[in-house]
Amino acid sequence: MIKQWLIWLLFFVGFQSVLKAQNSINPDSVYTVVEQMPQPVGGYAKFYKYLDENIYYTQQAIDKKIEGYVFVQFVVDKTGRLENIKIVKGLGFGLDEEVIRVFEESPKWTIGKEKNIPVRVRMTFSVIFRLPR
């Protein structure tokens, strides 16, 4: 009987430790999914307008008739600034550098939160390049 009670006690203590570890938030970690995801201040429509007004086709890309998607990855920090901006899949011809430039100059975003605690969140975004028809 005491052995069985001891086993249940150890199980309960171990289970509580697992639950505590799952419920703890490390504000220095980088998350990919959180309860409150970051988003551009003013919403995505305003951010798309910002991109449209600030990203320029390079002459080299125009001459080569390059079209497609540039996938950019970044971290929204606990203050809403974008950091660790890098191209995941690019097009070349100066378009990748142009996307990085515009994201580096981006207005702040709302912060990501997990259990109402500000956290850093990694996001991936696609930018479409289409030549005028």
At 53 the three-state DSSP class reads helix
pLDDT score of 34 more than 50: yes
Average pLDDT, the chain: 88
pLDDT score of 5 more than 60: no
At 11 the three-state DSSP class reads helix
Domains, the chain, ordered by start: 27-129 (3.30.1150)
* Tens digits of residue pLDDT in 55-70: 999 999 999 999 999 9
Measured between alpha carbons, how far is 63 from 27 in angstroms, rounded to an integer?
46
Query: What token pair was written down for 92?
Result: 């070349």
H or E element in which residue 127 lies: strand 117-129
